[in-house]
Amino acid sequence: MKRLFTIFWALLLSTASLFAGEEDITLNTPTGDIHGKLMYPDSDAPCPVVIIIAGSGPTDMNGNTIGAGITNNSLLYLAQELLNNGIATVRYDKRGIGKSTAAGTKEEDLRFDHYIEDAAMWADKLAGDSRFSKVIIAGHSEGSLIGMVAAKRSKAVKGYISISGCGCPAYEILEKQMQAQPAQIQEESAAITKELREGRTVEQIPFYLAALYRQSVQPYLISWFAYNPAVEIAKLDIPVLILQGDKDIQVGVEEAERLHAAHQASSLYVVKDMNHVLKQCDTNDRMAQLATYSNPQLPIKPELISHIVEFIRQ
């Protein structure tokens, strides 16, 4: 019985230490609280902290798609691996997503700048915490653009990392996606995006394009189209790291190269056999790729971590 009691307390203490470096963290905004998780190493010395920004849509702080059954834990694993290397992280549910649902606004009131302002506020908040020696932003996918603009707005940010980020503006992405559609739909879509790019909403939307260009989402698209990643990254006067997988079927290597060309002082690394969710994948076959999107058992690529750790330590 005494032996069992000893084992029980050993397990209890080991479990407690496992969670000793993680805590809930909240960002207060005028429209509600944004909730996240802070992971930090067990050390008395200040350490770097990385703000991890998730991609588009209902993607939560762990990199999972809410409501679609897509669980891969890519951003959770990124935070854990950085913690193993003595680097703190903050990852958070963007406004309107997951635990930050209450901070969301009506669709017609949402702007891309809201996400940028939130990321900059996180940076300012963490810069005032004595546990951290410097603040770095790492944005994944759409979070790459959010992060690079926020990194310019907040003087607290000392380094920026783009992971699987696009180098072209959002309207060009839409144009590429429309290439699979009939010529008429391509022309109608191009006409709508032209108006939105010039800051004008469009009253009459064909029913087959309503899901993409409905009235309530047009103000958001106008605010999003205003940013060109290649232009924004060139404005950064802090160290920049660009990371891209060569098996990413959502964002091609040419996008990373476009970012690198715009900021020639940046470092660019293409990670072999890494896909969009940062997992090992040695094929571009769509079905094989999608299987990794819903497999939380797969770890993320170690090379991704080594490049980030080296960048931060430099």
| DSSP one-letter string for 199-250 | T---S---GGGHHHH-GGGHHHHHHHHT--HHHHHHT--S-EEEEEETT-SS
| pLDDT (average), residues 59-85 | 94
Question: Alpha-carbon distance 253 to 238, whole Å?
Answer: 23
Burial of 208: CB neighbours in 10 Å, binned 0-12, 13-18, 19+: exposed
pLDDT, tens digit (0-9, with 9 covering 90-100), for 285-302:
999 999 999 999 999 999
| DSSP β-ladder status, 22-29 and 32-39 | antiparallel
Residue span(s) of the chain under CATH 3.40.50.1820 come to 21-168+228-313
Helix, strand, coil fractions of the chain, as percent rounded to 5: 45, 20, 35
Q: Give the span between the Cα atoms of 195 and 204, in whole angstroms.
A: 12
Residue 161 pLDDT: 98
Domain 21-168+228-313, CATH among 2.60.420.10, 3.30.450.20, 3.50.50.60, 3.40.50.1820: 3.40.50.1820
Q: Which two tokens stand for residue 168?
A: 């072209």
pTM value? 0.91
Distance of CA 71 to the CA centre of its chain: 15
Tokens 């290397």 belong to: 85
> What does the pLDDT read at residue 94?
96
**Band of residue 214 on the pLDDT scale cut at 50, 70, 90:** very high
Tell me if 58 sits within 8 A of 66, measured CB to CB. Answer: yes
251 pLDDT above the threshold of 80: yes
